[in-house]
Amino acid sequence: MKILVTGGAGFIGSALVRHLIHHTPHAVVNVDKLTYAGNLESLAPVADDPRYAFEHRDICDAAGLADVFARHRPDAVMHLAAESHVDRSIDGPSAFIQTNMVGTYTLLEAARRHWLTLDESARPGFRFHHISTDEVYGDLADAGGLFTETTPYAPSSPYSASKAGSDHLVRAWHRTYGLPVLVTNCSNNYGPYHFPEKLIPLVILNALEGKPLPVYGQGLQIRDWLYVEDHARALLRVLEAGAPGETYNIGGHNEQRNIDVVRAICDLLETLAPQHPAGVAHYRDLITHVADRPGHDLRYAIDAGKIQRELGWTPQETFDSGLRKTVQWYLAHRDWCRNVQDGSYQRQRLGLTA
């Protein structure tokens, strides 16, 4: 297949692109606006592969998308482009509505028009795979409950509300127009190339620099953690074998309290980076509790039974094995981290937009 991936320079998108190029015969067209979260350095391992192409486009640009579809004629779309940081959505929700809802609508229409141009033999095989989040389900009130594919939506933040809206649009395009869509909702991802404002990379890098490790409230919020390369494998499995119109929850079976995640990182660093920053006796001493953010959901947990039963996918990494690999990756790729932290990674973006 030739797969059009939106947001392929982001964290999950770049993991998916690398997986597709390294482990499948498929070709990839990466469509990315290159906002602050888009980093072409994350695609350096595949950038020169003849099966990889990059298109610097905004998914809200209808004419630009029409041109991309006309030139590349993809067999499938995997839609990951999104504004995704909850704190940023609280400070500035407008960009989240524009990208996550207007952008998804614009992409759906471009894909639908392209789909209608396919001949009768190719049209049934086309897929529009929309990648979403478990945050659309809101907070789990039941301590033992799990999100299933039929859990009612109850988003809490501007980010999750905009993703919920995009999910509804995708399903409406299936119901109204017959566009063959797939929807996946995933739990918290972690792993290599994660943007350093997110919890796990932030804690790793702050600890190595002797900076405070901020924890919201008492850190009792519970999340199900999914190693990003496991997620990439799941997304490909859904694209290749999922039933059109169906939703699949993707989780790591790894529920952890935030405070325990931070402590686990500190303990790994004691072993993997025993040379402490000046003035720091133990990495755990850097843990600092800060005021909780507005509307902070206490617990998310995914029931990934459907994708396991119907498509045969299960995560390969435990939380312990995935976290160790993640810490080791950040220790081995300090240049990538520094380029993000000092903003120099954006020079490629600025060069492309000049």
Enzyme catalytic residues: 134-135, 159
Tokens at residue 340, please?
């993000």
Q: How many CA atoms lie within 13 A of 89 on its CB side?
A: 23
C-beta neighbour count of 152 within 10 angstroms: 7
Pair 102, 60: CB distance under 8 Å = yes
Count of helix runs (H) and strand runs (E) in the chain: 13, 12
Residue type, 86: V
First to last CA, the chain: 33
Distance CA 283, CA 97 (A): 39
Tokens at residue 161, please?
């509300």
Residue whose C-alpha is closest to residue 345's, from 189, 190, 193, 192: 193
99-to-159, 294, 320, 352, 354 alpha-carbon distances in Å:
11, 22, 34, 20, 22
Residue whose C-alpha is closest to residue 165's, from 209, 128, 195, 135: 135
Q: What is the DSSP string of 233-278?
A: HHHHHHHHHPPTT-EEEE--S-EEEHHHHHHHHHHHHHHH--SPPT
326-to-193, 264, 265, 313, 322 alpha-carbon distances in Å:
9, 12, 10, 22, 6
37 exposure class (CB count in 10 Å sphere: 0-12, 13-18, 19+):
buried
Pairing of strands 2-6, 127-133: unpaired
Pair 302, 295: CB distance under 8 Å = no
